[in-house]
Structure 1
Amino acid sequence: MQRHRVVVIGAGFGGLFAIKALKKADVDITLINGTAYHLFQPLLYQVATGILSQGEIAPPIREVLKRQDNVDVRLGWASHIDVEKKIVSVEGPGVDYEVPYDTLIVAAGAAQSYFGHDQFADHAPGMKNIDDALELRARIFGAFEIADLQTDPEAIDRWLTFVVVGAGPTGTEMAGQIAELAHRNLPGQYKHIDPRKARIILVDALPAVLNTFGDHLSTRALRQLHLLGVEVELNTRVVGVDATGIEVETERGHERIPSMTKVWAAGVSAPPLARKLADAAGAKVDRAGRVFVEPDLTVPGHPEIFVLGDMMNLDDEHGQLLPGVAQVAIQGGKYAAGTIKNRLAGKPAGKPFKYFDKGSLATISRFSAVASIWKLRLDGFPAWLIWVAVHLFYLVGFKNRVTAVMHWAISFLGRGRSERVATVQQAFARRAIHEYGDPFERAREEAAASDEASRLSEQH
């Protein structure tokens, strides 16, 4: 008899933990993911600022799951879900295919939101994948190199001005690390510029940094950013981004900040797949494109489809929307796996999903962080130690933990950055791909044209 088929879309925290929880279940799992690696997204900013390599936060999926025999890993992007026939259509690199399912787990993560201004992405990359991090690494370190070649003081200032949009954890961490680069790691390495004169500007439309951490920790974080030399512009809304600067609306009025390097960390939305699924299943989505789900994380009317993590809209017992953080996805993945095992065993439905909040962490600079854990509020070095321990615990693979500790020692105890290599391709690939088009689609068209030319040549 054919075993129960579970298809998982997405190899993030939700998908990966669901798969691991089904290791001993009597099911066949097909994992569909757009990349061949599992991404530990909370440390992307350290790849962008030269602390860690991409391999340390993105282990290969096949290596992570090599001891789990009931998993088939397939590369591709889910493009359509037929909820009646229970088939997922997938666009792979140069090949399209379909995967049938009995139970579907959709955990495709989140996309960067530019609040209706997607054209900003060309000049202000987000922080959602390895490509973004490597592009930003090339832009950040490249800015210092190009500034060193300039003779016009205004051009030097423009290249040495870094603007980070969004004062949540990602933006705050990014601004803090760029400041450490400029003020601690790079001084003395350039003959014609002083990196310490770089301006790092953190912009947010809200009135506080790390606003979800509470007034106490928000104030401490703001103070630490000021000590690092970061200029924090709150109540400031971005209205334009181009190659050489950024336009903002502040309490002082309209202003332009000349800057060659911009980082976007201001918002997230569900990927387009969420709306496609909702349309196919007759479900609703919120303004950010997240699917409204039942208390058991399933799509209304379709108990065989689970939606996890950043793609779902679900309130907790207090009526508050569950946040888009790793722990929600991890706990959701384990819950979905438990529900599947109970169904296969003929057991009655369990209790609704209940999120256990383990707290929030954000690092500001070396030896300085903020931690909100239940009723405990910590900042400074104690919070930083907790941050290190938690991130090491969730890094996948013993080797990655060891190398991460080594690189942290180099960067935080010393003054080096072990991952400063940046290439022209990393810096300009986004623009080139936009102009060239989908490389796989181009390859298919060129192959088809070549075959047609060969066929016509043989006829003549």
Structure 2
Amino acid sequence: MGDGRLRVVVIGAGFAGLAAVKELAHADADVDVMLVDRHNYNTFQPLLYQVATAGLDAGDVGHHIRGVIRDWPRVDLLVGTVTHVDPGARKVVLSNGDTMSYDALVITAGARTNFFGVPGAQEHGLPLYTLADAVRVRNHVLSCFEAAEADPSLVDGGMLTFVVVGGGPTGVETAGAMSELFRYVIRRDFRHIDTARARIVLVEMTDHVLGTFRPKSRQHAREQLEARGVELRFGSRVTAIEPTRVTLDSGDAIPTHTVIWAAGVQANQLTDDALPRTQGGRIVVNPDLSVPGHPDVFVAGDLAGANGPDGKVLPQLARPAMEGGRHAAIQVLRRRAGLATLPFRYRDPGTMATIGRRSAVADLRLGITLTGGVAWLAWLGLHLVELTGGIRRRTEILV
């Protein structure tokens, strides 16, 4: 890797990127780290649905990166967009034409919303993957109630019908939190409309929600959503989205001014990264998370085509991203020390989702499944203690 100080460039300041930077910052080695991200803040994505449903403010889930790296003198931040990676020349190119050389590169550029080519989805759907997305959803939902308050006849045209596409954790959590927003907050704030006429319709192409969860968790989530008044449209696929309606493959059209798109994500594509991709768009990696043919380039998080113990590609979630980022950084340091790299082995601690306040499902190790309030406490502990490192402020908000 060359003599002198080790120059490491980390692309992306999400869960994987910050985990890698933290590991490098605390290394007992001469390492200089340049963290590159298009924003100067990091987003705690598992709680974006809370921002979208007015449960949290944007500042509660967005953290300034410079504040995070303040005590890491060997780490610097460059706000910019990487458009090209040249592994042969060991350089990255930014959108403004500037270039940076590196001795080691860690790519953690994350993912973006996947609209699956559905006509009108990108133009009229409301994704929920970034902080800006969440704020946009919140403002749009509230503006629909304001419009109906000014003209109650708009309710008949779907002004208060909110369609959520996708029955995974994001869709379930958003629908559940939205129902509570309508029931406990909106109902008290608007005087001239019957807020009970507001509808939440969750559209899922399979016959269940939370497809990666165990049957017990799926059933509990379904029952909790139905108890909260969420209409479930199973076995339905969205074929088109227009400004005032969404069309399903059955031919049914749902009048609505709001379609929240929670149907999935895809790996980010740098403009020209010259790196091999899997069929799903992720970067091909070796067992140690390095790129084949480029031992000084590592990939972690949503962008890495890494497999878990079951041979299946790892889910695009916070926990595998964090562990992958840390592992990639450790391998950079091992190569620096002249040691062989080690394969990445991910141990899944479990999968969780909330359906509303004090209600959740949790599939844990050893076949343990929790539901209801106990699962909600488990979710709170994992997301707010392990992932953020602090519980007091967010516990006060969420409880």
TM-score when normalising by structure 1: 0.83
**2:290 is the alignment partner of 1:298:** yes
Pick closer, same or farther for the CA change 1:317–1:386 going to 2, 3 Å. Answer: closer
Unaligned stretches of 5+ residues in structure 2: none
Q: Report 1:50-65 matches (<5 A).
A: 50-65=54-69
User: What amino acid maps onto 2:45 in structure 1?
Assistant: Q
Partner of 1:135: 136
Post-superposition shift, 1:272? 1.4
Partner of 1:173: 173
Post-superposition shift, 1:122? 2.6
Paired residues of 1:32 and 1:73 also in contact (CA < 8 A) = yes
Q: Report 1:112-127 matches (<5 A).
A: 112-117=113-118, 119-127=120-128
Query: 2:385 is paired with a residue of what secondary structure?
Result: helix
Paired residues of 1:165 and 1:204 also in contact (CA < 8 A) = yes
Query: 1:202 is paired with a residue of what secondary structure?
Result: strand
Post-superposition shift, 1:406? 2.5
Paired residues of 1:150 and 1:156 also in contact (CA < 8 A) = no
Question: RMSD of the TM alignment (CA)?
Answer: 1.6
Post-superposition shift, 1:348? 2.5
The counterpart of 2:382, out of the listed 372, 390, 402, is 390
Deviates more, 1:307-316 or 1:218-227: 307-316
Q: What is the alpha-carbon distance in structure 2 between the residues aligned to residue 402 and residue 217 of structure 1?
A: 28
**2:30 is the alignment partner of 1:39:** no
Q: What is the alpha-carbon distance in structure 1 between the residues aligned to residue 185 and residue 387 of structure 2?
A: 26
Q: Report 1:370-381 matches (<5 A).
A: 370-374=361-365, 375-381=367-373
Partner of 1:76: 80
Paired residues of 1:291 and 1:311 also in contact (CA < 8 A) = yes
CA offsets 1:117-174 (integer angstroms, 9 cap, x no match): 374123211111111011101111111111111142x544511100000010000000
Partner of 2:100: 99
Q: What is the alpha-carbon distance in structure 1 between the residues aligned to residue 63 and residue 257 of structure 2?
A: 32
Q: What is the alpha-carbon distance in structure 2 between the residues aligned to residue 353 and residue 210 of structure 1?
A: 27
Paired residues of 1:13 and 1:329 also in contact (CA < 8 A) = yes
Q: What is the alpha-carbon distance in structure 2 between the residues aligned to residue 64 and residue 118 of structure 1?
A: 40
Paired residues of 2:106 and 2:329 also in contact (CA < 8 A) = no
User: What amino acid maps onto 1:383 in structure 2?
Assistant: A
Partner of 1:227: 227
Partner of 2:195: 195
CA offsets 1:366-386 (integer angstroms, 9 cap, x no match): 110000111110100000011
Which of the two has greater helix per residue? 1
Query: 2:54 is paired with a residue of what secondary structure?
Result: coil
Q: What is the alpha-carbon distance in structure 2 between the residues aligned to residue 258 and residue 11 of structure 1?
A: 39
Partner of 1:349: 341
Q: What is the alpha-carbon distance in structure 2 between the residues aligned to residue 358 and residue 408 of structure 1?
A: 23
Partner of 2:304: 312
Partner of 1:242: 242
User: What amino acid maps onto 2:197 in structure 1?
Assistant: K
User: What amino acid maps onto 2:188 in structure 1?
Assistant: G
Query: 2:189 is paired with a residue of what secondary structure?
Result: coil
Q: What is the alpha-carbon distance in structure 2 between the residues aligned to residue 184 and residue 20 of structure 1?
A: 41
Pick closer, same or farther for the CA change 1:109–1:6 going to 2, 3 Å. Answer: same
Partner of 1:418: none
Post-superposition shift, 1:238? 0.4
Partner of 1:449: none
Partner of 1:269: 266
Partner of 1:458: none
The counterpart of 2:24, out of the listed 15, 22, 25, is 22
Post-superposition shift, 1:318? 2.4
Paired residues of 1:147 and 1:156 also in contact (CA < 8 A) = no
Post-superposition shift, 1:405? 2.3
Q: Alignment identity in percent? A: 39
Deviates more, 1:254-263 or 1:22-31: 22-31
Query: 1:99 is paired with a residue of what secondary structure?
Result: strand
Q: What is the alpha-carbon distance in structure 2 between the residues aligned to residue 168 and residue 232 of structure 1?
A: 13
CA offsets 1:248-267 (integer angstroms, 9 cap, x no match): 11xxx311000011100001
Q: What is the alpha-carbon distance in structure 2 between the residues aligned to residue 35 and residue 137 of structure 1?
A: 21
Q: What is the alpha-carbon distance in structure 2 between the residues aligned to residue 118 and residue 46 of structure 1?
A: 28
Partner of 2:357: 366
User: What amino acid maps onto 1:107 in structure 2?
Assistant: T
Deviates more, 1:320-329 or 1:70-79: 320-329
Structure with bigger gyration radius: 1
Q: What is the alpha-carbon distance in structure 1 between the residues aligned to residue 119 and residue 242 of structure 2?
A: 12
Paired residues of 1:176 and 1:225 also in contact (CA < 8 A) = yes
Q: What is the alpha-carbon distance in structure 1 between the residues aligned to residue 135 and residue 309 of structure 2?
A: 40
Post-superposition shift, 1:394? 3.9
Partner of 1:6: 8
Paired residues of 1:57 and 1:395 also in contact (CA < 8 A) = no
Post-superposition shift, 1:19? 0.7
Partner of 1:425: none
Partner of 2:323: 331
Query: 1:383 is paired with a residue of what secondary structure?
Result: helix
Query: 2:252 is paired with a residue of what secondary structure?
Result: strand
Post-superposition shift, 1:339? 1.0
Paired residues of 2:119 and 2:241 also in contact (CA < 8 A) = no
Q: Report 1:202-213 matches (<5 A).
A: 202-213=202-213
